Amino acid sequence: MTEQELQKYVEDLSIQFFGRPFLHKAIFNPRLKTTGGRYHLTDHHLDFNPYMLAQHGEDVFMGIVKHELCHYHLHLTGQGHRHRDPAFKALLAKTGGLRYAPASASAANYRYQCQSCQTLFERRKRIDTNRYVCGKCKGPLIKIGNNEKSQAPK
């Protein structure tokens, strides 16, 4: 999905589910890693994590867009737009938006497996298999490979 397609997609969802136009900018922000999207209070634009669309599909991404549009429309109408506000929770339930973004793919770069109990361990940093053992059974660990980081479409 391109930036122009994203803009049109957000505008269409805004009219369809909220009955109000989306008049600001919607963009992909690849720097977002742990969140699905972000609403900016100052200039009212929306950022979306492109990895969420690539990893979880359009249904989940639609829920994320609805979530951010709830923040957008409630803030612009002067109602409670924060996660804890009853107005936000009610509008989110009414439109079918996601309360939480799903966990993104693992950020682990290294994979290890216990030779005794076969438990898998994923780590961001390399570990010394001569020094560390399995936390469950104290068995020896072996490196089984590196994870490939998923790449979102540009």
- 33-84 residue pLDDT tens: 889 999 999 999 999 999 999 888 999 999 999 999 999 999 999 999 999 9
Active site residue 3: no
Among 61, 66, 131, 133, which Cα is nearest to 102's? 61
Structure confidence at residue 10 as a pLDDT band (50, 70, 90): very high
Active-site residue, selected from the candidate residues 5, 58, 68, 148? 68
Amino acid at 1: M
Q: Which residues contact 16 (CB under 8 A, 6 or more apart)?
A: none
Helices 58-76, 86-95: axis angle to 10 degrees equals 140
Closest-CA residue to 102 (of 40, 37, 47, 46): 37
Above 90 in pLDDT, residue 86?
yes
- The single residue listed with the structure tokens 């994320």 is 64
Q: Confidence band (pLDDT; 50, 70, 90) for 103?
A: confident
Does position 124 have pLDDT exceeding 70, yes or no? yes
Distance, in Å, from the CA atom of 128 to the CA atom of 115, rounded to the nearest integer, reads: 15
3-95: which CATH architecture?
2-Layer Sandwich (3.30)
